[in-house]
Amino acid sequence: MALAVVAVWGTNFPIFKIALDTLPPLLLAVLRFALVLLPAVFFVRRPDVPWRKLAGYGVLIGSGQFGLLYLAVGGHISPGLASLVIQMQVFFTIGLAMFTVGERLRPFQVVALLLATAGIGVIAARTDGQTTPLGLAMVLAAALCWAGGNQVARTMGRVDMLGVVVWSSLFSLPPLLLLSLVLDGPARIAQALAAADTTVWAVVLWQSVGNSLFGYAVWGWLLARHPAATVVPMALLVPVFGMASSAWILGESLPPWKLLAAGLVMAGLALNLLWPRIAAALRPAPGMVE
């Protein structure tokens, strides 16, 4: 089940790129969260959290993370690299936790951050017509919004994340719709909707049902029944699926520099996630003589 979720999340990057050839990025985000909200809002119970937290989560994740991500992939960065760079949210989440609740950065996290930052540096040094500095900056900003959403979610305690995703879409939609009307204009929106074929609508449906509703529901179900240390490491496969599927579906090239960047970022993510478990396994049991 965990493999199914990360496969859906990873392969989604080249899939939504297909829809962006017809729909403006912000319009795609509007349609995604409209279908997340309706009709699910009539069947999914509102989680027992304050409205302000639902609003914060909806604006940060829906409007911020996905709005920026769609804009970036719409013409400023390749989908495979976007699936990799967005994982910097892990380190942004750590940084926000340090700032808000005083968590301390541990030595292995410093090494992990340096590795991942080196990978981002490789991407920044090799930006080309397919990946631009602006695209890289927008995906990093999307990762920061994701990290902010994570911090809001942490303050909710143990809640039904499917309910959070559905009801927070009430607050994702207005900013996205307003920005789409201002930046795209009613005429372009109408033209794009008229040009959307069955494939485009299938992609939109996959964004809402596959990624948001199925993904979050199953991930939450797994976390409720298995230790987080068992489930969470599977998320490391998201950029693997993202880069591999982008190469397969869209023909995105994987030159040595891109593989080096992926290796550095993935090494940083893996070290940050797995080192506590490795250190605990290597630590002598109480009472043992070293």
Quick: pLDDT tens for 117-151. Answer: 998 998 888 776 678 889 999 999 999 999 898 88
Query: pTM of this prediction?
Result: 0.88
As a whole number of angstroms, the distance between CA 209 and CA 69 comes to 18
Structural domain contains residue 78: yes
Distance, first Cα to last Cα, the chain: 41
Structural domain contains residue 186: yes
As a whole number of angstroms, the distance between CA 104 and CA 102 comes to 6
Structural domain contains residue 205: yes
**pLDDT tens, 91-124?**
888 888 887 777 777 888 889 889 989 989 988 8
123 token code pair: 């991407």
How large is the C-alpha radius of gyration of the chain?
19
As a whole number of angstroms, the distance between CA 172 and CA 60 comes to 8
* Structural domain that includes position 42: 2-274
Residue 128 confidence (pLDDT)? 63
pLDDT at 44 over 80: yes
Q: Where are the alpha helices (DSSP H) in the chain?
A: 2-19, 25-37, 51-57, 67-73, 79-85, 89-101, 107-125, 133-154, 161-183, 185-195, 198-205, 215-225, 228-231, 238-249, 256-282
Q: How many domains are contained in the chain?
A: 1
Structural domain contains residue 161: yes
Structural domain contains residue 138: yes
**pLDDT tens, 58-79?**
999 999 999 999 999 998 999 9
Structural domain contains residue 290: no
Helix (H/G/I), strand (E/B), else coil: 204 = helix
Structural domain contains residue 172: yes
Structural domain contains residue 281: no
Q: Is 173 exposed, middle or buried (0-12, 13-18, 19+ CB in 10 A)?
A: buried
**pLDDT tens, 9-21?**
999 999 999 999 9
